[in-house]
Amino acid sequence: MSAPRMAVSNAPAFLTVEEAAELLRVNRKTLYEAIRLDQVPGVARLGRILRIHRDTLLTWSLGNSRPALGDTKS
């Protein structure tokens, strides 16, 4: 059985890529690629570790000056 889905209200202030992908309902690899292309706001890099600020991610909308996930056109 899979683990229960994370509720937004119970989510920590900084999310792992896996948690953020679950919250956004996208594949983890898709999110890693969008982060690599600097398309995701609120990303903190701590050496090789990535964390994503939950509140920034939740207020991010597709019209906010950055391309949508997976959109490589600039």
30 in a structural domain: yes
Give residue 1's pLDDT: 46
45 in a structural domain: yes
69 in a structural domain: no
68 in a structural domain: no
Q: 1-60: per-residue pLDDT in tens?
A: 455 566 666 778 999 999 999 998 999 999 999 999 999 999 999 999 999 999 998 888
29 in a structural domain: yes
46 in a structural domain: yes
Long-range contact set of residues 43-51: C-beta below 8 Å, sequence gap at least 24: 44/14, 50/16, 50/17, 51/14, 51/15, 51/16
- The CATH number for 48's domain is 3.90.105
Give residue 62's pLDDT: 47
